Structure 1
Amino acid sequence: MIINLRQICFLLTLSIQLNRFIILDNDILDYYCQIIDSFINILYSIIQSDNKINNKLSHSLIGTIIPNLYTMTLSKQLEKYIQNKHIISLILKLTNFENDEIQLNAFKILSSITTEQETKNIDTSDNIADLFIKFLNKVIDDSNQTLRFYNLLRCLKHLIQYDQIKDELTKQNGLPLIIRCATDIKFKPLQVQQPALEILFALTFNKEAYQQLVVALVDDLDFVLSRFLFFLIIRQDSF
């Protein structure tokens, strides 16, 4: 049953994964909103269950639902709908599950639906940094995990705006990984290098990270500047 549900969810969210700027017409939007409501109701039922932590079926259901719930946040229309459901407290409870995949996807959802003040109130910055470093290392060279790689960088780009995340990413030696994303020519400029450069730029507002970046990027300065100018030109053309 779980396998069939995963396959159905994958097919339902595939178009959003491939094109997050897609505009859903009203009928399709309503259909997705009903799915979101069902997902949220299931999650509430699991959280309120007495044996939620040890129940393998519950873990499997959560493991199926939350990555697809995150995928729906890639659509601006659905992201707004999910934000209006006020589920931050629910998703925060999922971060307590002792399962890296569940925790990571919960944090990815939070990165999309929380405001700056709400993010500041999330006292799990060390865990967030650890999970993102762990999973970026896992997928960075895996050609079968390309979309996940892009989405991880997208989420981290949002979360890195907050000081506690900057601190933890720096403390946990995450900078070399982000520098590689920004400077390795095998990565796509828009999907990988641009968000990585934006993450590095945000990190320059952290004193320790800034000092590390000055040393680490001195040999790649010309490349970084050329990439930065390239993205400035692209952004100018979009105005």
Structure 2
Amino acid sequence: MLLLTTCPLFLRWYPGDHNPDLFLQPARTLLTPFTSWVLNCPSDSIVHCSEEVRDMIRHLNVILVRPIDWETSNISSQEFYDDYCKLVSQWISFLPIITRTESSSEVSDRTTITRFIVQDLYNFTLHPSVLNFMTTIPNLIPTLLKMTDIQQDETQLNIYRCLGKIMVEDDIKTMAHPDKIAMIYIKFLSNSIDDVKKKDRFHSLFESLI
């Protein structure tokens, strides 16, 4: 457990040679078994898993889905397409289960899991072929729209970032408060612009507007 939780962080922070091919090796080795494991999880099990397991899934998933900055590299992620699409579908299937969880003792767990899944869904939108697949999922936009009032700023931002990627003009026109998208972006840009520690987030926000 410790190995799976800490090694992904080490890879992200590794100060040495950032050869993209080197950073793709974990995904080439672990993505398919990880995907199989996730697909075999009962739909409500993620809500009840321990904090340690959630951290392991979250950290491991980072190096499997975004081992490199796909959006600025010339490397295709097509070799991972099938597994990525399976993970997208599975994460989306978890969202209704999570949002139905009303027990006060599970609110914190639900917030953490939702934050991870929504962040991961946004990471998947950075893969053009996977993004195209996401636009074909009928319940994705309605599911995300139901979550836009979530009381967690970063999760709310990533929900809108996902919606901004998958919605077309007609979808936006049907929103009750389409101006809220701009308000959320302005809020986060304002909070990040002068914070050196949030430099990467600031750049990422700008890139997601393109």
Could you state the TM-score of these two structures normalised by the residue count of structure 2?
Answer: 0.65
Aligned length: 155
CA separation in 2, counterparts of 1:131 and 1:14?
A: 24
Residues 88 and 149 of structure 1: CA distance in aligned 2, closer, same or farther (over 3 Å): same
Amino acid at match of 1:108: R
CA separation in 2, counterparts of 1:155 and 1:71?
A: 11
3-state DSSP class of the match of 1:6? helix
Tell me if 1:128 matches 2:188: no
Which is higher, the Rg of structure 1 or of structure 2? 1
What per-residue deviation string (whole Å, max 9, x for no partner) do you get for residues 180-231 of structure 1? xxxxxxxxxxxxxxxxxxxxxxxxxxxxxxxxxxxxxxxxxxxxxxxxxxxx
**Could you say which residue in structure 2 is the equivalent of 1:76?**
128
Residues 57 and 129 of structure 1: CA distance in aligned 2, closer, same or farther (over 3 Å): same
Q: Which runs of 5+ in 2 are unaligned?
A: 1-52
Q: Is the 8 A contact 1:95 1:107 kept in 2?
A: yes
What per-residue deviation string (whole Å, max 9, x for no partner) do you get for residues 90-125 of structure 1? 000110212211211100000000011101112223
**Could you say which residue in structure 1 is the equivalent of 2:97?**
45
**Could you say which residue in structure 1 is the equivalent of 2:55?**
3
Q: Is the 8 A contact 1:53 1:97 kept in 2?
A: no
**Could you say which residue in structure 2 is the equivalent of 1:92?**
145
What per-residue deviation string (whole Å, max 9, x for no partner) do you get for residues 151-178 of structure 1? 3123334xxxxxxxxxxxxxxxxxxxxx
CA separation in 1, counterparts of 2:102 and 2:110?
A: 11
What per-residue deviation string (whole Å, max 9, x for no partner) do you get for residues 124-154 of structure 1? 2343222211211222234443442233123
How many angstroms does 1:60 deviate by?
0.5
**Equivalent residues in 2 for 1:24-173 (5 A)?**
24-26=77-79, 28-51=80-103, 55-86=107-138, 87-157=140-210
Q: Which runs of 5+ in 1 are unaligned?
A: 158-239
Could you state the TM-score of these two structures normalised by the residue count of structure 1?
Answer: 0.58
CA separation in 2, counterparts of 1:118 and 1:22?
A: 31
How many angstroms does 1:6 deviate by?
1.8
Q: Is the 8 A contact 1:95 1:106 kept in 2?
A: yes
CA separation in 2, counterparts of 1:52 and 1:82?
A: 32
Q: Is the 8 A contact 2:192 2:199 kept in 1?
A: yes
How many angstroms does 1:52 deviate by?
8.5
Residues 76 and 147 of structure 1: CA distance in aligned 2, closer, same or farther (over 3 Å): farther
**Could you say which residue in structure 2 is the equivalent of 1:14?**
66
Q: Is the 8 A contact 1:5 1:64 kept in 2?
A: no
Residues 46 and 98 of structure 1: CA distance in aligned 2, closer, same or farther (over 3 Å): same
CA separation in 2, counterparts of 1:146 and 1:15?
A: 19
* More contact order relative to length (CA 8 Å, sep ≥ 6): 2
**Equivalent residues in 2 for 1:198-217 (5 A)?**
none
Which stretch of structure 1 is more off in the superposition, 62-71 or 123-132?
Answer: 123-132
Residues 112 and 94 of structure 1: CA distance in aligned 2, closer, same or farther (over 3 Å): same
CA RMSD of aligned residues (A): 2.3
Residues 54 and 100 of structure 1: CA distance in aligned 2, closer, same or farther (over 3 Å): farther
